[in-house]
Structure 1
Amino acid sequence: MTRLLAALALVLTLAACGSPPPPPAVPAAAPTPVTTGPPTTTGTPATTGDPAPERLRIPAIGVDSSFVDLGLDPDGALAAPESTDVVGWFAAGPAPGADGPALVAGHVDSRAGPGVFFRLGELAAGDRIEVLRTDGSTAAFTVTSRTDTPKATFPTEQVYGPTPGPELRLVTCGGSFDRAVGHYRDNVVVEAVAADAAEWTVG
């Protein structure tokens, strides 16, 4: 399990990143293939009938984005969102609002300018995140932490380990851009837990 989580972590640290604003020296970063097989996450998978996410709203940083499902590419790596303007959800893992860490990835930027998660690093403990779901409900979350971490020391267990209830993991790139390899050197990881059950609304 640890090996598979590490493989997923490696893929995600590369897949959700764009190239810096113009003029870029290299094209946007591409997903990196892995050979350890499909990634595995803990928690309740979306296939159990949990409503899928439709929209992500983070008022503190002005995010109001639709979701796309993220799966695996032909090389077995997690595919990044094709657009830098929307967030992606790893649909084989827990759905936002189900028990376990739901993974949401987005680009920080591209050659065209800022991406959907350009301001992700500005989030602070207590900020609110809302996920509108296909059943008409809104799953509310509260940010508990933000981590800026070198990709070489990505906190795999912290991000993908089991959780006692519904949680979110928002991931994008950060730090300086390494033009030699075409990737940012760091990741920004935001963790959030389900807000009080009374804040869950339907309709």
Structure 2
Amino acid sequence: MAAPEAPPESPSGGRGILDRVTGRFTALILALLAVGVLVAFVNSGGEEPAPARSLPPAERVSVPVPLPAAQITGLDVPSIGLTTQDLTSLGLRDDNSLDVPRSAATVGWYQRSASPGEVGPAVLAAHVNFRGEEGAFYRLGQMAPGQTVEVHRDDGTTAVFAIDRVEQVAKDSFPTEAVYGPTPDGQIRLITCGGVFNEQTRSYEDNIVVFGHLTEAYRPA
């Protein structure tokens, strides 16, 4: 299948859903993407279910990183009070914009990005608010460097990421390559909308992007 003519964008629309992001991929990134739209619920099957919540150190067994590909079964972001198994995978719309979760509480994983724990950036997106409800990433902009994100996977492992930085960026200067471009190690990107809400366009003018890197992985002891 042909590569998209434009880079993936965060979802567009009103009432606080994710804003579109702009920018262009390098030729390498374009070569890795295919045009298509897919929204399918993440398969939470697997012989050994991943833990629903973060486990204390005494109940963990470390596993080598990076990890192989696997589906996501849960997400823990303690600093913003988020623990969820309401997950979906996201593809691209016909206009090559990133599709959106269908509810405020759902977190979407961009299926053309790395699995959390693999080499490369794993890209997750969710609403800040939607149809009068707080979104899963409502407090995303409150995150700070050093805080952690844990992604539970259907192979029984959990990938742990440390936050490096939190950026608020205008749609017309979205750091596309920094978000979607290849990395030498496992990384994570969390995206929602932010900034001023434009009543005319019914969308936020900025995006909040959280950048982090893989620090460890474990499975239940």
TM-score bracket, normalised by the shorter chain, equals 0.7 to 0.9
Helix, strand or coil for the counterpart of 2:7? helix
TM-score of the pair, normalised by structure 2: 0.72
Distance change (3 Å), C-alpha of 1:119 and 1:163: same
Unaligned runs of 5+ in 2: 22-28, 34-67
| Preserved contact between residue 142 and residue 193 of structure 1 (Cα < 8 Å) | yes
- Runs of 4 or more, structure 1, over 6 Å off, are 29-32
Q: 1:155 aligns with which of 165, 175, 194?
A: 175
Helix, strand or coil for the counterpart of 1:152? helix
Distance change (3 Å), C-alpha of 1:41 and 1:138: farther
| Preserved contact between residue 19 and residue 193 of structure 2 (Cα < 8 Å) | no
In the alignment of these two chains, the number of paired residues is 177
Q: 1:184 aligns with which of 204, 208, 213?
A: 204
Unaligned runs of 5+ in 1: 21-27, 33-38, 44-48
Worse overlay, 69-78 or 122-131: 69-78
Q: 1:118 aligns with which of 124, 135, 138?
A: 138
Once the 2 structures are TM-superposed, how far is the Cα of residue 41 of structure 1 from its aligned partner? 8.0
Once the 2 structures are TM-superposed, how far is the Cα of residue 5 of structure 1 from its aligned partner? 9.0
Structure number with the bigger relative contact order (C-alpha 8 A, sep ≥ 6) is 2
Distance change (3 Å), C-alpha of 1:101 and 1:6: farther
Q: 2:15 aligns with which of 13, 19, 22?
A: 19
| Preserved contact between residue 18 and residue 108 of structure 1 (Cα < 8 Å) | no
Distance change (3 Å), C-alpha of 1:18 and 1:201: farther
Distance change (3 Å), C-alpha of 1:92 and 1:110: same
CA distance in structure 1 between the partners assigned to 2:31 and 2:117 by the alignment: 15
2:60 corresponds to 1:60: no
Tell me the equivalent position of 2:218.
201
| Preserved contact between residue 166 and residue 209 of structure 2 (Cα < 8 Å) | yes
